Each structure stands twice: as structure tokens, then as C-alpha cells.
Structure 1
Amino acid sequence: METSYQGGVIDDVDNFQSLSQTIASNIKKISHNVSSMSKMVNQLQTPQDSQELRKQLRQIQNYTQKMAKDTSSMIMDLMKMPTDQPANKLTRDRLSDEYMATLNAFQATQRTAAQKTKEDVRKVKAQNINIGDPFATGSNRELVEMGDTNVRKQEQLTLQSEREMLELEQRERDIKQLESDIMDVNQIFKELGAMIHDQGAVVDSIESNVEYASQNVESGVQELHQAANYKNKLRKKKVYLALILIIIISIILIIIFHN
């Protein structure tokens, strides 16, 4: 589990290689943290569930959320940088795809954690509603006989109820934090998606222009070929007509001289 992340968008983003390496490293850390979070979330509502487990889950969730925000800013900076070399464009596209996939897995884990925590809160509230007053039923004689035993039980129930209420408040705070983080991740998806779409549209436009120009060149070549063929055919026709004319004149002359 990665919890030593210091974060921060690096100041000098002019070096494409350095920025891409930092992004790649962060993606690996986020992916590793998501894997750890998933294992912890699977232990919720099981015998392995504990306050310590939930505390660790909160910590890794907070670290990963901050890292995701910083990495998102780096991805956006990377996309704004010129990619004259095809290798750089491939690197940029690969990193953005890997980051989006990792971010999607992170959000899915957040949603599962929030859902399980909500279920826990509903169960605790239901239990507190069903707990009745142990002194509310029975005769006075029975209450006297129960004496100190019931008093101790009531004290234990009160302490247990107080602990449960504290846990309930903490879990409700966890739910609010998770829901807020999920909304932040949604915003990251929207911003990155819009940027990728815009850049994709530009690329499509360039490719369309190149294709259109290529089509124009091919069309021009075809027209030249057609013009050349037409010229050759016209030349052949003139030659044929000249030959026919010569033959006709020769025949006429032969007939005249023969007569």
C-alpha cells in the first residue's frame, strides 16, 4: 500500500520524458493502492472487519484521491505539450488510456465502500431503535429482584450504545467523504474526456484534410490520364481519317487515269 506520496504537479513540465515517467509511476501507485483498497473493502461486514481496518481504508483512500487529482493535472499538461514525434504521441495516448482505466477501477472501489458503509449505518440505526428499556416491563417485585444485575446490564448497554453512536458518526462522515471524492473523480473524467475529445476532433480534422488532399491528387492524376487518353484517341482518329482520305483519293485517281 502506497501511503508516502508527497504529491504536487511538477513545476517544469517542458520535459516530455520526465513528465510522462512521473505519470507512469503515479498510475502504478494508484493501481497498487486500488488493489489494496479492494481487498480491504471485501473484508468489510466480515469477521475481519474492525475499526483499524476502516481507519487504514480511509487513509489509503485519501492518499489515492490526492494522487489522482495531481496525476490528472499532469495528464492535462502532457496533452497540451507538442507531440512532433510519433513515439511521444503514442506514449501520451497510452498513458491517458491507462490512467482512465485505473481511475475507473478506483471509483468502482469507492462506490462499493460507500455502499457497504451505508448498509452498516442502516443496521446500527435499526438496532438502536429496537433496543428497549429493560425496566419498562415487569412488576415492581421483579424489578427489585433483578437489582444490581440489571443496573450493570443497563450501564453496559449504555456504554455499548455510546460506542456505536461514535462509530455511526464516523461512518456517516466516511460516507460523505466518499461521495464527495466520487464526485471529484466524476469531474476528472469529464475534464479529461472533453480534452481527449477535442484533441481527437483536431486529429480527425487533420486526417480528413490529408485524405481529402490525397483524393484530390488522385482525382487530378486520373483526369490527366483521361486527357492523355483522349488526346491519343483523337490523334489516332486523325491518322485514320487521313489514311481513309488518301485511299479514297487514290481510288478516284486510278479510275480517272484508267478511263
Structure 2
Amino acid sequence: METSYQGGVARENAAENFERLSQTIASNIKKISQNVSSMSKMVNQLQTPQDSQELRNQLRQIQNYTQKLVKDTSSLLMDLMKMPADQPANKLSRERLSDEYMATLNAFQANQRTAAQKTKEDVRKVKAQSVTISDPFAVGGAKPLVDTANVDVRKQEQLTMQTEQELEDLEQRERDIRQLEENILDVNQIFKDLGQMIHDQGAVVESIEASVEIASYNVENAALELQQAATYRSKLRKKKVYIAIFVILIVCVILFLIFHR
């Protein structure tokens, strides 16, 4: 009685954990989708009159936050895939969450690719237009934009500050490119891990179905063998009855002959 109760509690806790984890994943997917929508609007504003450093900073922040949320959600979804889904509703819920997450992840990665491509184009344009801007990571800094021999000191300082700002912006954009490329690789790995997990789950289901078919086949064979055994026993019983009757008849005949004499 106690064992049955404990088993019931365990099943109830498992169901609660499954439901709680599913709700968390669904909430995260919704947040990621909302962030991707916001990121898409920002990316569309790049290379337009609305483009600004503030816009790029906001885009970077939301990308980094969403990337972390994606990693956390991937871990949760893998935990959910490992949990037993005894009820058909749980299985359908798990498949639905997996499909929604993969679609959201695909949209997020496409957004990152577009942002990286536009940022690379910006960097190429800046390097092509500003012949005085050297490699931002090279030693020695930048060359002056103009010949400073015929300009006053204040203008020279302004030009120097402008050059430094351009270099700083260029460095930041190249850092953004590297970060976006790393994020894209991380998302690719997540796709592979989830794909392998889904494949393994499918293999397990196929194995279970095959085991059920084998068990059903064995049950049918066992039933047939029992039926045959019952038939054999019935025939054997009839033979015994016939033999007994035959023996009784012989004994009766022998007794009749003895008493008749």
C-alpha cells in the first residue's frame, strides 16, 4: 500500500515537473520571438538615415541577451526531451515546443546573419573611403586626414578627434562582427545537438514500437501454443477414457466367462 502511494506521488511530481518545464520553455520561446522581432526592426534601420551608434548599441545588447536566453532554453528543452512522456498530450506538447523553438531559432540566426553582413559592408566602406584610417588593430595609429601644415591648431585637434572616433567606431563594429559570427556558430551547434536529440528520441520510439510488435507476436504465438496444448490434452484425455472403457469391457467379459462356467 505504501509503495503504491509513493509511486503515485512520484508520477504526480513527474507530471508537475513536465508541466512546469514546458511552461518555462514556452515563455522563453515567446520572449525570443519578441526579441527577434525587435532586432529585425533595428537591423532594417542599419545603413539608413535612422542608423546611429545608439541604435547599434541597443541592437548589440538585445542580441547578447537573446543569445544567452537561447542557450538556457536549449538546455531546458533537452531536459524536457529526456523526460518520459507517458501521456499522448505530453508527447504532443513536447513536439510542438520543439518545432516552435527550432523555427524561432532559425529566425534568430537569420537576423544575426543579416546584421553581420551589413556590419561587414559598413566596415569595408569606411576603410575604402578613409584612406587615412589604418587597421584599427595595427600598431602606430592613423595618419592625419589632411595636410596640417596649412590649418590652425584647433582644426587639427578636431580632425584628430574625428579620426579617433572613427577608429573607435570601426573597432567596435569589427568586434560586433566577431561576436555575431561566434553567436552564429553557437546556434549552429545548438541545431546539431537538438537535431541529434530529436533523432535519438525517434529511434527510441521506433525501438519501443518494434518491441511492442515483437511482444504482440510472442503473445499470439504463446496463445496458439496454449491452444494446441489444450487440444493435445483433450485428445489424450479422450484416449485415456477409451482405454479405460476398453479395459472395463475386457474385465466384464472375463468375469462373465468365469461365472458362466
Q: Do the two structures share a fold, i.e. TM-score over 0.5?
A: yes
One-letter amino acid of the structure 1 residue matched with residue 104 of structure 2: T
Provide the residue aligned with 1:135 in structure 2.
147
Provide, for residues 143-190 of structure 1, a one-character-per-residue CA deviation record: whole Å limited to 9, x for no partner. 7xx554xx5544433222111100001111111111111111111111
Provide the C-alpha distance between the structure 1 equivalents of 2:35 and 2:198, rounded to a whole number of angstroms: 26
Matching of residues 20-35 of structure 1 within 5 Å: 20-35=22-37
Normalising by structure 1, we get a TM-score of 0.69
Matching of residues 107-256 of structure 1 within 5 Å: 107-129=109-131, 134-135=146-147, 148=152, 152-210=154-212
2:112, 2:184 within 8 Å by CA — same for their partners in 1? yes
Unaligned runs of 5+ in 1: 1-11, 137-142, 220-259
1:129, distance to aligned residue in structure 2 (A):
1.4
2:32, 2:104 within 8 Å by CA — same for their partners in 1? yes
2:145, 2:163 within 8 Å by CA — same for their partners in 1? no
One-letter amino acid of the structure 2 residue matched with residue 99 of structure 1: Y
Residue 52 of structure 1: SS of its match in structure 2? helix
Cα–Cα, structure 1 residues 133 and 179, in superposed 2: closer, same or farther, change >3 Å? closer
Query: Identity over aligned residues, as a percent?
Result: 78
Provide the residue aligned with 1:233 in structure 2.
none
Provide the residue aligned with 2:41 in structure 1.
39
One-letter amino acid of the structure 2 residue matched with residue 135 of structure 1: D
1:203, distance to aligned residue in structure 2 (A):
1.5
Provide the C-alpha distance between the structure 2 equivalents of 1:197 and 1:147, rounded to a whole number of angstroms: 69
Cα–Cα, structure 1 residues 110 and 133, in superposed 2: closer, same or farther, change >3 Å? closer
Provide the residue aligned with 1:235 in structure 2.
none
Provide the C-alpha distance between the structure 1 equivalents of 2:82 and 2:219, rounded to a whole number of angstroms: 33
Query: How many equivalent residue pairs?
Result: 200
Provide the C-alpha distance between the structure 2 equivalents of 1:18 and 1:114, rounded to a whole number of angstroms: 36
Provide the C-alpha distance between the structure 1 equivalents of 2:56 and 2:145, rounded to a whole number of angstroms: 31
Provide the C-alpha distance between the structure 2 equivalents of 1:84 and 1:112, rounded to a whole number of angstroms: 42
Provide the C-alpha distance between the structure 2 equivalents of 1:127 and 1:160, rounded to a whole number of angstroms: 14
Provide, for residues 62-84 of structure 1, a one-character-per-residue CA deviation record: whole Å limited to 9, x for no partner. 11000000000000000110111
Provide the C-alpha distance between the structure 1 equivalents of 2:212 and 2:84, rounded to a whole number of angstroms: 20
Provide the residue aligned with 2:104 in structure 1.
102
1:134, distance to aligned residue in structure 2 (A):
3.6
Provide the C-alpha distance between the structure 2 equivalents of 1:75 and 1:191, rounded to a whole number of angstroms: 11
Question: CA RMSD for the aligned pairs?
Answer: 2.8
1:88 equivalent to 2:100? Answer: no
Normalising by structure 2, we get a TM-score of 0.69
Cα–Cα, structure 1 residues 108 and 13, in superposed 2: closer, same or farther, change >3 Å? farther
One-letter amino acid of the structure 2 residue matched with residue 50 of structure 1: S
